[in-house]
A and B are shown apart, each in its own frame.
Chain A
Amino acid sequence: MIIQSENPVLEVHDLTVSYSSKPALWGVDFSLPEGSITGIIGPNGSGKSTLLKSIMGLIPLSSGYVKIFGKDLDKVRSRVSYVPQRESVDWDFPVSALDVVLMGRYAKIGMLRSIRSSDRKIAMECLEKVGMTDFAKRQISQLSGGQQQRVFIARALAQEADFYLMDEPFAGVDAATEEAIITLLREMVNAKKNVIVVHHDLDTITEYFDWLVMLNMRLVASGPMKQVYIPELLKKTYGTRLSVLAEAGDLLAKDKFSEKK
């Protein structure tokens, strides 16, 4: 079931993405309404992070296109913010929590200019929103998992974007952090921001999200929580093993083409 929306904030059209010519997502096509908090769910290897990365232009698309606020990403980059999975950075890097949050201001400061005191003020405010003011000067490896996640969310806030994409922000964080983050996301949505979250935990889905995108190498469903959070679609997302699809992917990847005959 795929419910499209009018005047979408995000439109993903017929998107196919491949990793070393093996498709990881096939023909994904959906759109998201304004002012909502959307969850992307699906089993491991279903292409959730891949979808986020391809929306952010971090991996090349094999086919299809993505429009954000009806425009190409390059035109609206300053309005979009992305929080990658936490493992992807070097925690020993000599930067403090405040330094990391300030990085969210870099695009606004502009190339080759230095940081202004107004940026520092905004960064501190963002740290305060996530309850991390006391840790501003702390080097990032000396923070707990939940605290690190808060810092990265503060960095996204510092971008002052309208559209936030978060890759598993709740992975490996403590309960207090999870609650703090979800409250913050709610506040953001109330302030007319849009949020997409890749999520893992089926128990909290109904409580956290308004809209759901269900993936399993292809799009299973996209729509308002009430309409798509049904056993049939969940089973389709998590249950069936798509052996034909997997095999087809292998054929493309190995390029067995010439061996066919």
Chain B
Amino acid sequence: MDNFVNFFSFNDPNVRYVVLGSILLSVSAAIVGSFIVLKKKSLVGDAVSHSVLPGICAAFLFAGTKNTSLMLVGAFISGWLSLVAIDYITAKSKIKKDAAIGLVLSVFFALGIVLMTYIQQSGNAAQSGMDRFIFGKAATLIGSDLITFSVIAVVLIAVTLAFFKEFTIIAFDEHYAEVLGLPVRKLDLLLTSLTVLAVVSGITAVGVVLMAAMLITPAAAARYWTHNIRRMVLFAAIFGAVSGLAGAYISYIAPAMPTGPWMVVVSSLIAFFSFFFAPLGVVPKTLKRNKNSRTMMDENILKLFYQISERDENFKMKRTVEELLAFKKMQPTQLKSGMKRLNRQGLLDYSNQQAQLTETGLLKAKKIVRLHRLWELYLTNYMEIAPDHVHDNAEEMEHYITPELEKQLEKYLDNPETDPHGTMIPK
């Protein structure tokens, strides 16, 4: 708890730096990543993040020390080369994209591992801590490194936001962008460079292996909160920031822990939560579907009342549950709970297992029966479907037809009086 308070009071300047750095880089990765996800190129992010390792190691071999700027350049170059290799292999041979990505990322990573193990046994004292580039250590985001990484992150955010419109259009419809006269190839190149740069910015805090997740996971989560792309990018940025903060905190309380995995776990948990509980997720959709089927059930009950009344030519009579069930087979419990709901809505007067349509209830029941019969008529007249086959489909459509569609149907069918079975269509 003390740790928690100490950390979140941000009194320690080191804590402030680490927090600032982690948040900046996660936010920038999430923003760039939004477009990668929208372009359905998530796995390319994975390829780049594994592929920067040899660049880092080569830079170290070249300089003999852990020179951050040089390593960044090395990482950028090898990340770039991996993408060129993937494109070249897929363009020039029958190897498909997935195999090319998997092959290039693992071979580049293998080269990185070979170089790293070579360095580790080379006896160079400066090599200790090289492995932090693999799983990340947010605590190392201090001093001049912090400035370098922050500058990269700020540049990333600024460039992405500056080209927001263009990236949106190439992500949505590349051909249309081309027709508009946009330099699609150059924009693609820019987005690719930003992707590589975003991976590079994460190598110290998150590590190369898991940086792909920091690109795509917040963005994929954000997709479930909104249909608006600007808001989506904003959500992604927020989720990225939360994950970044979590990484910094872990690095503070457990210095021995690698931070990258923690950041990824936090952002994955946000994503899993979003997939299920965000407005566009699984649970709200299921709830909506259940609500819809309840409403359908209610409409069917109203229709039932109308049909019985039509048979008896008496619309003002009380009906018992048994009577209704005798007219049409239904689950008694479902019928009763539906009747209670309709009672609450003022469409039925329900008491003591008996009920009768109210004025509004009758209107509504009429409307549903009308739509059902209009649709049956449409199916028979315009779709050549035999009258004895149209009922089931109308059972469904009656709940969906909008007033506009109803008008169209009336016009097509010329305000008909009876349905295909010869029954009156109520007005």
| A residues in contact (CB < 8 Å) with B | 1-2, 14, 16, 26-27, 29, 63, 92, 218-221, 242-245, 247-248, 251-252, 255-258, 260
> A27–B390 contact, CB under 8 A?
yes
> A244–B385 contact, CB under 8 A?
no
- The 8 Å CB contact of B400, one of A14, A27, A256, is A256
User: By DSSP majority rule, is chain B's interface helix, strand, loop, or mixed?
Assistant: helix
* Bound complex: CA A1 to CA B401 (Å): 28
24 sampled A-B residue pairs with Cβ under 8 A:
A14-B389, A26-B379, A26-B383, A26-B385, A26-B393, A27-B390, A29-B386, A218-B383, A244-B382, A248-B397, A248-B400, A248-B401, A251-B400, A252-B396, A255-B288, A255-B292, A256-B402, A257-B295, A257-B399, A258-B288, A258-B291, A258-B292, A258-B295, A260-B402
B376 CB to nearest A CB, Å: 11
Known interface pairs A244-B405, A244-B408; A257-B389 also in contact (CB < 8 Å): no
Which of B288, B289, B389, B399 has the most chain A CB atoms closer than 10 A to its own CB?
A: B389
CB 8 Å contact bits of B349-387 with A (1 = contact, 0 = none): 000000000000000000000000001001100111110
Chain A hits for B384, CB < 8 A: 1-2, 218-221
Closest residue of chain A to B386, judged by CB?
Answer: A29
* Bound complex: CA A247 to CA B291 (Å): 23
* Bound complex: CA A255 to CA B396 (Å): 12
Closest residue of chain A to B291, judged by CB?
Answer: A258
Closest residue of chain B to A260, judged by CB?
Answer: B402
**B118 within 8 Å of A by Cβ?**
no
- Residues in B192-211 with C-beta less than 8 Å from chain A: none
CB 8 Å contact bits of B407-421 with A (1 = contact, 0 = none): 011001000000000
A147 CB to nearest B CB, Å: 19
- The 8 Å CB contact of A27, one of B291, B385, B399, is B385
**B313 within 8 Å of A by Cβ?**
no
* Bound complex: CA A252 to CA B393 (Å): 11
Chain A hits for B292, CB < 8 A: 255, 257-258
* Bound complex: CA A258 to CA B290 (Å): 11
* Bound complex: CA A35 to CA B292 (Å): 47
Count of B interface residues, CB-CB < 8 Å: 28
> B402–A251 contact, CB under 8 A?
yes
B335 CB to nearest A CB, Å: 21
**B392 within 8 Å of A by Cβ?**
yes
**B227 within 8 Å of A by Cβ?**
no
* Bound complex: CA A14 to CA B379 (Å): 12
- Residues in B62-102 with C-beta less than 8 Å from chain A: 94
Chain A hits for B378, CB < 8 A: 244
Closest residue of chain A to B375, judged by CB?
Answer: A248
> B390–A244 contact, CB under 8 A?
no
- The 8 Å CB contact of B383, one of A27, A63, A92, A260, is A27
> A245–B383 contact, CB under 8 A?
yes
Chain B hits for A245, CB < 8 A: 382-383
* Bound complex: CA A247 to CA B408 (Å): 10
Closest residue of chain B to A252, judged by CB?
Answer: B400
Chain A hits for B396, CB < 8 A: 252
Chain A hits for B386, CB < 8 A: 2, 29
* Bound complex: CA A106 to CA B401 (Å): 48
* Bound complex: CA A251 to CA B398 (Å): 11
B281 CB to nearest A CB, Å: 16
* Bound complex: CA A3 to CA B292 (Å): 39
* Bound complex: CA A26 to CA B394 (Å): 11
Known pairs A29-B386, A29-B389, A242-B382 / 10 extra A-B pairs, C-beta < 8 Å: A1-B384, A27-B385, A92-B94, A219-B383, A243-B408, A244-B382, A245-B382, A248-B405, A256-B400, A260-B400
B244 CB to nearest A CB, Å: 37
A47 CB to nearest B CB, Å: 13
> B385–A29 contact, CB under 8 A?
yes
> A247–B383 contact, CB under 8 A?
no
Closest residue of chain A to B413, judged by CB?
Answer: A244
Chain B hits for A251, CB < 8 A: 400-402, 405
Closest residue of chain B to A91, judged by CB?
Answer: B94
Chain B hits for A258, CB < 8 A: 288, 291-292, 295
B65 CB to nearest A CB, Å: 48
CB 8 Å contact bits of B147-170 with A (1 = contact, 0 = none): 000000000000000000000000
Chain B hits for A244, CB < 8 A: 378, 382, 405, 408-409, 412
- Residues in B125-162 with C-beta less than 8 Å from chain A: none
Chain B hits for A255, CB < 8 A: 288-289, 292
Chain B hits for A26, CB < 8 A: 379, 383, 385, 393
A125 CB to nearest B CB, Å: 31
B202 CB to nearest A CB, Å: 36
A248 CB to nearest B CB, Å: 6
B412 CB to nearest A CB, Å: 6
> A63–B408 contact, CB under 8 A?
no
Chain B hits for A252, CB < 8 A: 396-397, 400
* Bound complex: CA A63 to CA B375 (Å): 17
Chain A hits for B401, CB < 8 A: 248, 251
A112 CB to nearest B CB, Å: 28
Known interface pairs A27-B393, A244-B378; A218-B405 also in contact (CB < 8 Å): no
Closest residue of chain A to B390, judged by CB?
Answer: A27
* Bound complex: CA A16 to CA B389 (Å): 11
> A247–B405 contact, CB under 8 A?
yes
* Bound complex: CA A13 to CA B401 (Å): 25
Known interface pairs A92-B94, A256-B402; A27-B379 also in contact (CB < 8 Å): yes
* Bound complex: CA A92 to CA B401 (Å): 48
Known interface pairs A242-B382, A244-B382, A260-B402; A27-B389 also in contact (CB < 8 Å): yes
A226 CB to nearest B CB, Å: 19
* Bound complex: CA A60 to CA B397 (Å): 20
B68 CB to nearest A CB, Å: 44
Chain B hits for A218, CB < 8 A: 383-385
The 3 closest A-B pairs by CB, nearest first: A92-B94, A218-B383, A27-B385
Chain B hits for A243, CB < 8 A: 408
